[in-house]
Structure 1
Amino acid sequence: MLIGELANEAGTTIRALRYYEQQGLLQARRLPNGYREYDETSIGRVGNIKLLLSLGLTANDVHGFLACLDQDIADGPLCPASARVIARKLTDVEGKIAALDVVRKRLVDVLAQAEG
Protein backbone atom coordinates (compact mmCIF):
# COMPACT_ATOMS: atom_id res chain seq x y z
CA MET A 1 0.00 0.00 0.00
CA LEU A 2 1.15 3.55 -0.61
CA ILE A 3 1.89 6.05 2.14
CA GLY A 4 -1.48 7.81 1.85
CA GLU A 5 -3.31 4.51 2.12
CA LEU A 6 -1.32 3.51 5.18
CA ALA A 7 -1.95 6.88 6.81
CA ASN A 8 -5.67 6.45 6.22
CA GLU A 9 -5.75 2.83 7.46
CA ALA A 10 -3.66 3.60 10.55
CA GLY A 11 -5.46 6.83 11.40
CA THR A 12 -2.40 9.04 11.21
CA THR A 13 -0.77 11.53 8.88
CA ILE A 14 1.69 11.10 6.04
CA ARG A 15 4.02 13.42 7.91
CA ALA A 16 3.96 11.12 10.97
CA LEU A 17 4.74 8.09 8.82
CA ARG A 18 7.70 9.86 7.26
CA TYR A 19 8.90 10.76 10.75
CA TYR A 20 8.57 7.14 11.94
CA GLU A 21 10.56 6.03 8.91
CA GLN A 22 13.21 8.69 9.52
CA GLN A 23 13.52 7.47 13.13
CA GLY A 24 14.01 3.86 11.99
CA LEU A 25 10.67 2.67 13.40
CA LEU A 26 9.01 1.93 10.07
CA GLN A 27 10.40 0.62 6.80
CA ALA A 28 9.12 0.99 3.28
CA ARG A 29 10.15 -0.42 -0.05
CA ARG A 30 10.75 2.12 -2.76
CA LEU A 31 8.97 1.58 -6.05
CA PRO A 32 10.75 2.43 -9.32
CA ASN A 33 8.90 5.76 -9.36
CA GLY A 34 10.23 6.58 -5.86
CA TYR A 35 6.94 6.03 -4.05
CA ARG A 36 7.00 4.33 -0.67
CA GLU A 37 5.23 0.97 -0.47
CA TYR A 38 4.27 -0.64 2.83
CA ASP A 39 3.00 -4.13 3.58
CA GLU A 40 -0.14 -4.91 5.58
CA THR A 41 1.80 -5.49 8.81
CA SER A 42 2.70 -1.81 8.80
CA ILE A 43 -0.83 -0.93 9.94
CA GLY A 44 -0.34 -2.77 13.25
CA ARG A 45 3.20 -1.45 13.62
CA VAL A 46 2.02 2.14 13.23
CA GLY A 47 -0.77 1.51 15.75
CA ASN A 48 1.79 0.22 18.25
CA ILE A 49 4.08 3.21 17.64
CA LYS A 50 1.17 5.58 18.22
CA LEU A 51 0.22 3.74 21.42
CA LEU A 52 3.74 3.94 22.81
CA LEU A 53 4.08 7.61 21.93
CA SER A 54 0.73 8.30 23.62
CA LEU A 55 2.19 6.78 26.82
CA GLY A 56 4.76 9.56 26.85
CA LEU A 57 7.59 7.57 25.33
CA THR A 58 9.87 9.23 22.81
CA ALA A 59 10.70 7.85 19.38
CA ASN A 60 14.09 6.93 20.82
CA ASP A 61 12.36 4.99 23.63
CA VAL A 62 10.27 3.12 21.06
CA HIS A 63 13.50 1.61 19.68
CA GLY A 64 13.43 -0.65 22.75
CA PHE A 65 10.24 -2.16 21.33
CA LEU A 66 11.48 -2.88 17.79
CA ALA A 67 11.53 -6.63 18.41
CA CYS A 68 7.82 -6.66 19.21
CA LEU A 69 6.32 -3.77 17.22
CA ASP A 70 4.70 -6.15 14.75
CA GLN A 71 2.85 -7.99 17.56
CA ASP A 72 -0.25 -6.80 19.38
CA ILE A 73 1.42 -5.07 22.31
CA ALA A 74 -1.73 -3.43 23.67
CA ASP A 75 -2.87 -6.63 25.39
CA GLY A 76 0.15 -8.88 25.08
CA PRO A 77 3.21 -9.38 27.23
CA LEU A 78 6.08 -6.95 26.92
CA CYS A 79 9.42 -7.89 25.40
CA PRO A 80 12.18 -7.93 28.05
CA ALA A 81 13.90 -4.92 26.48
CA SER A 82 10.65 -2.98 26.35
CA ALA A 83 9.91 -3.70 30.01
CA ARG A 84 13.16 -1.92 30.91
CA VAL A 85 12.08 1.10 28.85
CA ILE A 86 8.70 1.19 30.60
CA ALA A 87 10.31 0.84 34.04
CA ARG A 88 12.69 3.72 33.30
CA LYS A 89 9.85 5.92 32.03
CA LEU A 90 7.75 5.09 35.10
CA THR A 91 10.63 6.13 37.37
CA ASP A 92 10.89 9.43 35.46
CA VAL A 93 7.15 10.06 35.78
CA GLU A 94 7.15 9.26 39.50
CA GLY A 95 10.02 11.71 39.99
CA LYS A 96 8.10 14.45 38.20
CA ILE A 97 4.99 13.73 40.27
CA ALA A 98 7.02 14.00 43.49
CA ALA A 99 8.51 17.32 42.36
CA LEU A 100 5.07 18.66 41.43
CA ASP A 101 3.70 17.55 44.79
CA VAL A 102 6.36 19.66 46.53
CA VAL A 103 5.39 22.67 44.43
CA ARG A 104 1.69 22.03 45.14
CA LYS A 105 2.29 21.95 48.89
CA ARG A 106 4.22 25.21 48.72
CA LEU A 107 1.42 26.86 46.75
CA VAL A 108 -1.17 25.64 49.26
CA ASP A 109 0.93 27.04 52.13
CA VAL A 110 1.39 30.42 50.42
CA LEU A 111 -2.32 30.63 49.63
CA ALA A 112 -3.24 29.72 53.23
CA GLN A 113 -0.94 32.45 54.55
CA ALA A 114 -2.41 34.99 52.14
CA GLU A 115 -5.95 34.16 53.21
CA GLY A 116 -4.99 33.76 56.86
Structure 2
Amino acid sequence: MKIGELSRRTGASVRALRYYEEQGLLAPERLPSGYRDYDERSVVTVHRVRVLLSAGLSTASIAEILPNVVDDSVVLTGRCPELREGLAAERARITERIEALTAARDILDSLIGRPLVVSGR
Protein backbone atom coordinates (compact mmCIF):
# COMPACT_ATOMS: atom_id res chain seq x y z
CA MET A 1 0.00 0.00 0.00
CA LYS A 2 1.12 3.54 -0.61
CA ILE A 3 1.83 6.06 2.16
CA GLY A 4 -1.52 7.83 1.77
CA GLU A 5 -3.44 4.62 2.40
CA LEU A 6 -1.28 3.78 5.41
CA SER A 7 -1.97 7.27 6.72
CA ARG A 8 -5.73 6.80 6.30
CA ARG A 9 -5.69 3.36 7.92
CA THR A 10 -3.64 4.40 10.94
CA GLY A 11 -4.57 8.03 11.49
CA ALA A 12 -0.89 9.00 11.34
CA SER A 13 -0.01 11.87 9.05
CA VAL A 14 2.11 11.28 5.98
CA ARG A 15 4.73 13.50 7.58
CA ALA A 16 4.73 11.33 10.73
CA LEU A 17 5.11 8.17 8.64
CA ARG A 18 8.12 9.64 6.85
CA TYR A 19 9.58 10.60 10.23
CA TYR A 20 9.04 7.05 11.54
CA GLU A 21 10.96 5.78 8.52
CA GLU A 22 13.80 8.26 9.15
CA GLN A 23 13.99 7.02 12.74
CA GLY A 24 14.15 3.37 11.65
CA LEU A 25 10.69 2.51 12.98
CA LEU A 26 9.26 1.64 9.56
CA ALA A 27 11.05 0.05 6.64
CA PRO A 28 8.89 0.17 3.53
CA GLU A 29 10.06 -1.31 0.29
CA ARG A 30 10.90 1.17 -2.44
CA LEU A 31 9.34 0.59 -5.82
CA PRO A 32 11.37 1.34 -8.97
CA SER A 33 9.33 4.55 -9.22
CA GLY A 34 10.67 5.60 -5.81
CA TYR A 35 7.29 5.23 -4.10
CA ARG A 36 7.18 3.63 -0.69
CA ASP A 37 5.31 0.32 -0.53
CA TYR A 38 4.01 -0.72 2.91
CA ASP A 39 2.75 -4.16 3.84
CA GLU A 40 -0.04 -5.08 6.27
CA ARG A 41 2.42 -5.38 9.17
CA SER A 42 3.12 -1.67 8.81
CA VAL A 43 -0.41 -0.88 10.01
CA VAL A 44 0.22 -2.77 13.26
CA THR A 45 3.68 -1.26 13.61
CA VAL A 46 2.36 2.29 13.24
CA HIS A 47 -0.31 1.63 15.88
CA ARG A 48 2.37 0.30 18.25
CA VAL A 49 4.64 3.27 17.58
CA ARG A 50 1.81 5.73 18.27
CA VAL A 51 0.89 4.01 21.54
CA LEU A 52 4.51 3.98 22.70
CA LEU A 53 4.99 7.63 21.70
CA SER A 54 1.85 8.58 23.59
CA ALA A 55 3.31 6.82 26.63
CA GLY A 56 6.22 9.25 26.44
CA LEU A 57 8.87 6.97 24.98
CA SER A 58 11.46 8.34 22.61
CA THR A 59 11.78 7.06 19.07
CA ALA A 60 15.20 5.67 20.03
CA SER A 61 13.61 3.57 22.79
CA ILE A 62 10.82 2.48 20.47
CA ALA A 63 13.40 1.42 17.88
CA GLU A 64 14.92 -0.87 20.52
CA ILE A 65 11.53 -2.26 21.57
CA LEU A 66 10.00 -3.01 18.16
CA PRO A 67 12.39 -5.84 17.20
CA ASN A 68 11.43 -7.55 20.46
CA VAL A 69 7.69 -7.55 19.75
CA VAL A 70 6.22 -10.96 19.00
CA ASP A 71 2.53 -10.83 18.16
CA ASP A 72 1.20 -8.49 20.85
CA SER A 73 3.83 -9.41 23.43
CA VAL A 74 7.08 -7.61 24.07
CA VAL A 75 9.90 -9.92 25.08
CA LEU A 76 12.96 -8.14 26.43
CA THR A 77 16.02 -10.29 26.71
CA GLY A 78 18.80 -9.91 29.28
CA ARG A 79 20.78 -8.08 26.59
CA CYS A 80 18.92 -4.84 27.25
CA PRO A 81 19.04 -3.95 30.98
CA GLU A 82 19.27 -0.22 30.20
CA LEU A 83 16.09 -0.41 28.17
CA ARG A 84 14.34 -2.27 31.00
CA GLU A 85 15.46 0.38 33.49
CA GLY A 86 14.33 3.16 31.18
CA LEU A 87 10.94 1.54 30.68
CA ALA A 88 10.54 1.06 34.43
CA ALA A 89 11.30 4.75 34.97
CA GLU A 90 8.81 5.72 32.28
CA ARG A 91 6.18 3.50 33.88
CA ALA A 92 6.78 5.20 37.23
CA ARG A 93 6.39 8.60 35.55
CA ILE A 94 3.08 7.55 33.99
CA THR A 95 1.86 6.18 37.33
CA GLU A 96 2.67 9.50 39.03
CA ARG A 97 0.81 11.37 36.31
CA ILE A 98 -2.23 9.09 36.69
CA GLU A 99 -2.21 9.69 40.44
CA ALA A 100 -2.00 13.46 39.93
CA LEU A 101 -4.87 13.40 37.44
CA THR A 102 -6.95 11.23 39.78
CA ALA A 103 -6.35 13.68 42.62
CA ALA A 104 -7.37 16.59 40.38
CA ARG A 105 -10.53 14.75 39.38
CA ASP A 106 -11.33 14.04 43.04
CA ILE A 107 -10.99 17.75 43.85
CA LEU A 108 -13.31 18.64 40.98
CA ASP A 109 -15.79 16.01 42.18
CA SER A 110 -15.81 17.54 45.65
CA LEU A 111 -16.28 21.05 44.19
CA ILE A 112 -19.16 19.85 42.06
CA GLY A 113 -20.67 18.12 45.05
CA ARG A 114 -20.83 14.68 43.53
CA PRO A 115 -19.26 12.78 40.65
CA LEU A 116 -20.55 13.94 37.31
CA VAL A 117 -22.50 11.20 35.55
CA VAL A 118 -21.88 11.05 31.81
CA SER A 119 -24.59 9.26 29.88
CA GLY A 120 -23.47 6.10 28.16
CA ARG A 121 -20.66 5.40 30.60
TM-score, reference length from structure 2: 0.65
CA distance in 2, matches of 1:8, 1:16: 12
CA distance in 1, matches of 2:45, 2:87: 18
Q: Which runs of 5+ in 2 are unaligned?
A: 98-121
Larger Rg: 1
Residue 22 of structure 1 and its aligned partner are, at CA, apart by: 0.1
Is the 1:44–1:71 contact (alpha carbons within 8 Å) kept by the matching residues of 2? no
Among 70, 75, 79, the residue aligned to 1:79: 75
Is 1:65 aligned with 2:61?
Answer: no
Which of the two has greater helix per residue?
1
Counting aligned pairs with the same residue, the percent is 40
Is 1:49 aligned with 2:49?
Answer: yes
Residue 13 of structure 1 and its aligned partner are, at CA, apart by: 0.5
Query: SS of the counterpart of 2:39?
Result: coil
Instruction: State the aligned residue count.
Output: 92
CA distance in 2, matches of 1:53, 1:68: 17
CA distance in 2, matches of 1:79, 1:70: 7
CA distance in 2, matches of 1:35, 1:25: 18
Residue 16 of structure 1 and its aligned partner are, at CA, apart by: 0.4
Residue 66 of structure 1 and its aligned partner are, at CA, apart by: 1.9
Residue 85 of structure 1 and its aligned partner are, at CA, apart by: 3.8
1:50-90 Cα shifts (integer Å, max 9, x gaps): 00000011111112212245632xxx4x3225644421323
- Please give the residue correspondences for 1:1-116 in structure 2 after superposition, counting only pairs within 5 Å: 1-69=1-69, 71-72=71-72, 76=73, 78-80=74-76, 81=80, 83-91=84-92, 93=93
Is the 1:41–1:70 contact (alpha carbons within 8 Å) kept by the matching residues of 2? no
Root mean square deviation of aligned Cα: 2.4
